[in-house]
Amino acid sequence: MHEEDVQSLRESAEEFSVTLRDMAGLHERIKLLEEEIADRVAEHTNRSVLILTAVTVIALPINLIAGFLGMNVGGLPFRYDPCGFWIVMLIAVSLTSLAAWLIFRLRSD
């Protein structure tokens, strides 16, 4: 082989080595970016699940009371009381307000 060919091969090998190092660095950066994107998606999912849980917990007392009052059985509380509907409504609103206050108070802490 001629000296020029050997020198050309050395330069090509060095350029190839630099390119490989650059590619390895880019590969690491891509991994970091993928992890950051995955973390952001997980955070968004957690926030969505928290909101869904809060709405479910807030609606739970009203749904339970509506379910109990919708049953066709005897012995319902406040059935013959003229203010029975309003008493049940007061209980439902109180429980819902308490649940909402607890959810939002714990969330702000």
Radius of gyration of the chain (CA): 33
Domain total of the chain: 1
Whether residue 96 contacts residue 61, with contact meaning beta carbons closer than 8 Å, is answered with yes
Please report, in tens digits, the pLDDT of each residue of the chain (109 residues total): 788 888 888 999 999 999 999 999 999 999 999 999 999 999 999 999 988 988 888 888 888 878 777 766 667 677 788 888 788 888 888 888 888 888 878 766 5
Domain with 54, as residue range(s), is: 3-108
